[in-house]
């Protein structure tokens, strides 16, 4: 961990006093901002921090076009058409519902009572539209978890009760669609469903989409809550899913997400990231990434989390490989758990670049 601690210290100096610092085996050498030796992420063509998109984990041009349309015009039809043409069993539909719901939630925070007029119109003008019902349920979930005054508050519980009813109404509109039940998994977590209630809900999910990575992540959050047992239950759930994952499935990465969910707030032991448990989880996630379809919508989620672990493990080349694939988008864990996702990601990206160059890497050696 010594090199990682050194790099964190150097980043603090970087932000306060010096524009660029590079570490070499012979010690520390200060370089000018325009030096070709500066460990600057921009040298790799990476996006500037202020241009990082915090809404989504990876590129989805159709989604961005539809979202820009509804927000610019106030008309909901583009969102409805996009969701109607998105297969209901796949990961992408769930991601798009989350994106629309999250955008509406942010609008309402920025403009209380006036934001998200397109969603209000959608629900009023097309009450039976499946997509609108699902986005409304997702909006309520995101309001409960992000903007309700915190877990345990009256507002949190009231909004989650409303979200549960919205999920069930959405499910009635499209009986074979797993998305309303996946959204309800976040409700189960917040309302502390009993294990019997959870398993009844989970059965509805896996009947419709047994290998859905997003559903497994939502279920994992349930098991990680304190009132539902222990770390052992979350680990058991994750490892069981990984063990039965079909070839090419990203479910092999689920133990890494379980490990992340149970990380202590402060890691005091320097050897933690070199431990056998962490190494196994990271290797499983790397295997999942290497065998998954390149167009798997959940691939970016796994790469983002791998970046955090690989930097802490000082595996610089592999960390840079993740940056190369995900740069430009930060709407995923672990960055989305921060108050400033773009800044958090930018720190780890800078660490990856500095560590990569400290060990002989350069823009010329990074594959494109």
Weakest-pLDDT range from 80-84, 266-270, 284-288: 266-270
Q: What is the pLDDT of residues 307-339, one digit of tens each?
A: 999 999 999 999 999 999 999 999 999 998 888
CA 320, 322, 327, 329 torsion-angle sign:
negative
Q: How far is CA 41 from the centre of its chain?
A: 22
Domain housing 98 = 61-229
Q: What is the pLDDT of residues 95-153, one digit of tens each?
A: 999 999 999 998 998 888 888 999 999 999 999 999 999 999 999 999 998 776 667 68
Average pLDDT over residues 8-13: 47
The answer to whether position 26 is within a domain reads no
Average pLDDT over residues 39-60: 90
Which pLDDT does position 40 carry in this prediction? 81
In the predicted structure, residue 215 carries a pLDDT above the cut 90: yes
Q: How confident is the model at residue 173 (pLDDT cuts 50, 70, 90)?
A: very high
Distance, in Å, from the CA atom of 49 to the CA atom of 278, rounded to the nearest integer, reads 29
Is omega for the bond preceding 334 within 30 degrees of 0, making it cis? yes
Structure tokens at 243: 């063990």
Which pLDDT does position 35 carry in this prediction? 38
Please answer whether residues 96 and 186 qualify as being in contact, where contact means their C-beta atoms are separated by less than 8 angstroms. no
Any residues with CB less than 8 A from the CB of 282 and at least 6 apart, and which?
256, 306, 309, 310, 313
The answer to whether position 35 is within a domain reads no
The answer to whether position 98 is within a domain reads yes
Structure tokens at 56: 């989504």
Q: How far is CA 127 from CA 90, 133, 181, in A?
A: 24, 7, 19
Find the CATH number of the domain harbouring 155: 1.25.40
Which pLDDT does position 218 carry in this prediction? 93
| ∠ Cα 242 244 248 (to 5°) | 75
Q: How many domains does the chain have?
A: 1
Which pLDDT does position 13 carry in this prediction? 38
Which pLDDT does position 153 carry in this prediction? 80
Token match 């430009």: residue?
A: 328
Distance, in Å, from the CA atom of 323 to the CA atom of 41, rounded to the nearest integer, reads 10
Average pLDDT over residues 40-44: 87
The answer to whether position 176 is within a domain reads yes
Q: How confident is the model at residue 282 (pLDDT cuts 50, 70, 90)?
A: very high
Which pLDDT does position 272 carry in this prediction? 86
The answer to whether position 341 is within a domain reads no
The answer to whether position 240 is within a domain reads no
Beta pairing, strands 21-24 & 27-30: antiparallel
Distance, in Å, from the CA atom of 101 to the CA atom of 94, rounded to the nearest integer, reads 11
The answer to whether position 52 is within a domain reads no
Structure tokens at 113: 């009572």
Q: Residue 154's CB: how many other CB atoms inside 10 A?
A: 9
Secondary structure element (H or E) that encloses residue 23, with its range: strand 21-24
What is the SS3 assignment for 146?
Answer: helix
55 φ, ψ (degrees, to nearest 5): -85, -30
The answer to whether position 183 is within a domain reads yes
């Amino acid at each position: 961990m010594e090199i990682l601690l050194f790099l964190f210290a150097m980043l603090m100096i970087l932000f306060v006093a010096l524009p660029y610092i590079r570490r070499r085996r012979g010690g520390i050498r200060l370089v000018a901002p325009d030096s070709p030796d500066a460990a600057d992420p921009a040298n790799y063509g990476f996006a500037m921090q202020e241009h990082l998109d915090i809404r989504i984990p990876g590129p989805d041009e159709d989604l961005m076009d539809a979202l820009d349309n509804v927000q610019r015009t106030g008309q909901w039809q583009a969102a409805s058409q996009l969701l109607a043409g998105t297969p209901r069993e796949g990961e992408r539909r769930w991601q798009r519902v989350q994106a629309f719901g999250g955008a509406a939630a942010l609008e309402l925070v920025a403009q209380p009572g006036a934001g998200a007029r397109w969603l209000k119109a959608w629900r009023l003008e097309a009450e039976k539209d499946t997509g609108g019902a699902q986005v409304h349920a997702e909006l309520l979930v995101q309001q409960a978890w992000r903007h309700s005054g915190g877990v345990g508050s009256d507002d949190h519980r009231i909004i989650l009760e409303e979200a549960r009813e919205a999920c069930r109404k959405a499910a009635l509109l499209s009986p074979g669609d797993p998305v309303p039940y996946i959204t309800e998994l976040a409700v189960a977590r917040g309302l502390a469903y009993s294990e019997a209630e959870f398993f009844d809900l989970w059965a509805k999910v896996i009947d419709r989409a047994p290998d859905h990575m997003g559903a497994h992540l939502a279920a994992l959050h349930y098991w990680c809550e304190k009132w539902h047992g222990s770390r052992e239950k979350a680990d058991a759930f994750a490892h069981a899913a990984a063990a039965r994952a079909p070839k090419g499935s990203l479910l092999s990465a689920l133990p890494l997400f379980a490990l992340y969910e149970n990380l202590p707030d402060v890691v005091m032991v320097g050897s933690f990231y070199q431990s056998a448990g962490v190494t196994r989880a990271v290797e499983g996630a790397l295997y999942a990434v290497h065998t998954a379809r390149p167009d798997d919508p959940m691939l970016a989620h796994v790469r983002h989390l791998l970046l955090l672990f690989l930097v802490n493990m000082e595996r610089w080349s592999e960390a840079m490989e993740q940056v190369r694939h995900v740069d430009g988008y930060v709407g995923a864990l672990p960055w989305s758990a921060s108050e400033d996702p773009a800044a958090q990601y930018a720190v780890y990206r800078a660490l990856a670049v500095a560590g990569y160059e400290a060990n002989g890497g350069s823009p010329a050696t990074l594959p494109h």
